[in-house]
A = this chain, B = another copy of it.
């Protein structure tokens, strides 16, 4: 475990703690938050959503059940495949997703603002290169 790896893991835990906190403030689990984020720019079938989340299909069924009960998502049966279900955000879901993005930004800001703007850009570039 090198130095970068260690700081990366530490930073991840810190970020995840903040995300959990932001989510919990709106009675969302981390998983629901992720689902919301994914659904912001997609309307996947259940199986696709499960793949995106890295979860079992059955886990996602319950997840979407609860989100639907709260009026955040909608299930529409696919037109081309009678078995498939397409999941999408409701108006409320989109609103909440937007709010969450804002609040998470605010929660993380104290961390990132420890760096100069130039260093923030450097960090962003390096992290992006890790990801794609």
Q: Write the residues of chain A forming the contact surface with B, with a CB cutoff of 8 angstroms.
A: 1-17, 19, 34, 54, 101-102, 104-105, 108-109, 111-112, 114-115, 119-124, 126-131
Which of A1, A121, A127: most chain B CB closer than 10 A? A127
Instruction: Knowing that A4-B127, A7-B124 touch, tell me 16 more A-B residue pairs with CB under 8 angstroms.
Output: A1-B101, A2-B120, A4-B112, A5-B108, A6-B124, A7-B131, A8-B11, A9-B104, A9-B108, A10-B131, A11-B11, A11-B12, A12-B12, A112-B130, A115-B130, A119-B129
Residues of B within 8 A of A111 (CB): 8, 130-131
In the complex with contacts A105-B2, A122-B122, A127-B10 CB distance below 8 A: yes
**6 pairs across A/B with beta carbons < 8 Å?**
A4-B120, A5-B112, A6-B124, A7-B124, A8-B15, A8-B123
> What is the bound-complex CA distance between A5 and B102, given in angstroms?
11
Partner of A105, one of B5, B13, B121, B131: B5
Pick the residue among B1, B7, B128 that contacts A7 (CB under 8 A): B128
